[in-house]
Amino acid sequence: MFDLKGKKALVTGGNSGIGFGIAKALVQAGVTVVIVGKDNKKNKNAISELKKINGTCNAVQFDLQNCRKIPAFFKSLLVKSGTFDILINCAGITVRKRADLLSIDEWEKVIAVNLTSCFVLTTQWAKSLIKKNQSGSCVIVLSLMSEVARPTTSAYGASKAALKQLVRSFAVDWGRFNIRVNGISPGYIKTELTEPLYTDSEFSAWVMKRTPLGRWGTPEDIGPLAVFLCSDAASFITGHTVFVDGGFLASL
C-alpha cells in the first residue's frame, strides 16, 4: 500500500530544505522525480544527490514568480516527461519585515511565489489528469504560520493560511476525479529559509523550550509523511492538513 514504484512526481522548491527532503523520500520510495527551482546550481547539486539513490531524476530551472508563464512551462514539462501522478508544492519565500514596513512589491512577490504559483500550477496539473481520466495526489506544504502569527510574518502567514483553504477547495473540486489534495504544516524546521532563526541562540532556545519534543525538526521529518499521503495507504484522505511540529500547537 505504501509502494510508489513507477510513479512520477513534480516537486517545486525541491532543490533544498523541506522540498529536497520530500524529493529524497519519494526517490527512496521508487518515484521518478522532477524538481523545479530557479537556482540552477542548487538544482544540479540536488539532482547529483538524488541520482545516488535513483538514476531517473531530473531538474528544471524556472522562477515560479512568473505566474502567467506557468501554463506554458507546465505544458512543456508534459511533452518532455509525460503526466505526473504526484505534485508537491513546496516552493516558498519570505520577507521578514514588520507589516507597516513591507512594500507592496514585497507583498506581491511573496504572494506570487507562495500562493498564486501554487494555484496556477496545481490547476494545470489537475487538468492534465482529468483529461486522461487519471488519478493523482497533491501535497501542499504550509506552515505553522497558517495557524498562528509572529512578528514580521504578515505576507508569509497570509499566503500559508490561504494555501490551507486551497487544500480544502481543491479536494472538494476534484474528489470525483479521484484526485486527492492534502497539506503538510511543518513546525520549526532547520532549513536555509530558517537559518536566521536557528542561528539566533536566544530564539533557538525558545523554540526548543516551546516545542514538547524539545528540538528543531529536519526535512527528513517531513518526507515520510509526504510519501504516505501520496500512497494508496492514504486513498481515503483528502482535504486535510497534517501538522509536523513536535507538538508546538498542542502546548501553551
CATH of the domain at 228: 3.40.50.720
Mean pLDDT of 202-215: 95
Long-range contacts of 97-105 (CB under 8 A, 24+ apart): 97/152, 98/151, 98/152, 99/154, 102/154, 102/155
Question: What digits encode the pLDDT tens for the residues 212-233?
Answer: 999 999 999 999 999 999 999 9
Residue 236 lies in a domain: yes
DSSP type of residue 246 = T
**Which alpha helices (DSSP H) does 33-182 contain, by range?**
40-50, 70-81, 104-111, 117-131, 154-174
Point out the catalytic residue in the list 74, 125, 156, 248. 156
Residue 205 makes CB contacts below 8 A (sequence gap 6+) with none
At 215, phi and psi to the nearest 5?
-155, 165
Question: What average pLDDT does the structure give for the chain?
Answer: 96
Split into its structural domains, the chain has a count of 1
Mean pLDDT of 168-197: 94
Decide if 233 is inside a domain: yes
Q: How many CB atoms lie within 10 A of CB 201?
A: 8
Instruction: Give helix 17-28 / helix 223-230 axis angle, nearest 10°.
Output: 50
C-alpha cell at 149: 502569527
- Average pLDDT, stretch 174-191? 96
Residues 111-150 have pLDDT tens digits of: 999 999 999 999 999 999 999 999 999 999 999 999 999 8
pTM recorded for the entire structure? 0.95
Are 34 and 51 in contact by the 8 Å Cβ rule? The answer is no
Chain centroid offset of residue 102 CA = 24
User: Measured between alpha carbons, how far apart are the two ends of the chain, in Å?
Assistant: 37
Residue 192 pLDDT > 90:
no
Residues of the domain holding 166: 8-188+219-250
156 is catalytic: yes
**Residue 24 DSSP symbol:** H
Please check the confidence at residue 93 and state whether its pLDDT lies above 90.
yes
pLDDT over 70 percentage in the chain = 100
Angle, CA of 236, 18 and 58, to the nearest 5°: 90
Q: Is the dihedral of CA 76, 4, 246, 148 positive or negative?
A: positive
Percent of the chain with pLDDT over 90: 93
Determine, yes or no, domain membership for 182: yes
